[in-house]
Amino acid sequence: MSLFKDYVSQTRKPEGTLGKMMIRGMNSGHAKMADWGMAHLPALQPSEIAELGCGGGRNIAELLRKYPNAHVTGIDYSPLSVQKAQEYNQQAIASGICTVQEGNVQNLTLPEQYFDLATAFETVYFWGNLEQSFKQVHKILKPEGLFMIVNESDGTDKASLNFERIIEGMKCHTVEQLADALKKAGFSRCKAEHHESKPWIVMLAKK
């Protein structure tokens, strides 16, 4: 149980050998869910995108594929994740269309009112004070900017709640809890979608 707990706890802040294994697993294991969430984005032509909690960097690459004229900035507070995301997107970084850097969503140092779109895939479970974190996201978005959250858990499914008990600092939020925190952070319009057969959710919030 201890090794299993050590491994699954790497979802919070990957580091070391287990962290490298987790990052590889997240890039592949979350791909279908991330693509499902991305398909809910409305017609956009963003020039600047922030991928918050970017993990191994797979979703940075997919955002660049979806928006070839955009620049994507990936942020993660795990140095290992930053390293792996940089390796995954090495060509895009060399081409100047991608930046990956270490940072904490609870105190973002990104330029204010700069991004057209911010995304968060499978990461808000670990953001601690949701309202404070969402205020930071609100701060970096342009007026009418869009924030998309994609979670594998809707805060009620048994499997995720079991992981919540195992992984320190993890909190599975319901749609209602997310919407409440977003509105308190200043977002004016929130829309949620559920997967038809899985507990996956996508939340879209407009500044």
CATH number at residue 128: 3.40.50.150
Range of the domain at 83: 2-206
Does residue 207 have a pLDDT over 80?
yes
> Residues 48-71: pLDDT tens digits?
999 999 999 999 999 999 999 999
Q: Is 153 helix (H, G, I), strand (E, B) or coil?
A: coil
Q: Where are the alpha helices (DSSP H) in the chain?
A: 2-8, 16-29, 31-38, 58-66, 79-88, 90-94, 130-140, 158-166, 175-184
Amino acid at 76: D
Percent of the chain at pLDDT > 70 equals 86
91 band by pLDDT with thresholds 50, 70 and 90: very high
Distance CA 101, CA 86 (A): 9
> Residues 147-186: pLDDT tens digits?
999 999 999 988 878 877 877 778 999 999 999 999 999 9
| 201-206 and 48-52 strand pairing | unpaired
Q: Is 91 helix (H, G, I), strand (E, B) or coil?
A: helix
> Residues 4-34: pLDDT tens digits?
455 444 455 655 665 455 566 566 667 899 9
Q: How is residue 185 annotated by DSSP? A: T
pLDDT (0 to 100) of residue 18: 54
CB atoms inside a 10 Å sphere around CB 8: 15
* Number of structural domains in the chain: 1
